[in-house]
Amino acid sequence: MSAADRSAVNQLYIGLGSNIGDREGWLRKAVEELRQIPGVLGMRVSAIYETAPVGYTDQGPFLNMAASLEVDVPVMDIFRQMMFIEQRLGRKRTIHWGPRTIDLDLLMVNNLAVRIEEPELIVPHPRMLGRAFVLTPLLDVMEREHPDYDKLLQRLQSLPDREGVNLWRKVQSQNESGHSAN
């Protein structure tokens, strides 16, 4: 049984992005759908940040955020639900790194040491360490005591594009115990 199939309590870190239509609305819908997945015990969400597109740049700016989910079901079950959420919210995969209503990326499971290599999923996300628009909201949802927090913060501070990640809006969220966070 692979790490992706084991059922235990895991902390999943997910990156969310949108650059079509009501970008903030798409993020909010995706967060609500993630919250409703069976096996999600708790969730924290980051602030929302606006960033320029990366890769394919002939498109509008993105709104990006991150979520931390505490789950007690197999990681691949959550990943498959993430792909269904993208489909339900109108994600079209026509241009690589192109415009999208919603993009959900599983960034990390528990910590950087946990590796998953499946045909449809690689964790940690292979490009996250080079993207300020991923690391900035990810650090928002990580506990300061997380074993990778300082490493990820140092990595973010070394990235030349970190100045291009601009706070769009703080989000009132519920942490794992149901109390307000952020």
- Residues annotated as part of the active site: 91, 100, 103, 105
Q: Give me the residue label for tokens 């960033």.
A: 51
Which pairs from 56-63 meet CB under 8 Å and 24+ separation?
Answer: 56/95, 56/96, 56/97, 56/98, 59/19, 59/98, 59/99, 60/19, 60/20, 60/99, 61/19, 62/17, 62/18, 62/19, 62/23, 62/133, 63/17, 63/18, 63/19, 63/23, 63/24, 63/27, 63/168
Calculated CA dihedral for residues 148, 52, 78, 67, nearest 10 degrees = 50
> Number of C-alpha atoms within 13 angstroms, CB side, residue 84?
10
The backbone torsions φ and ψ at residue 23, rounded to the nearest 5 degrees and listed phi first, read: -55, -45
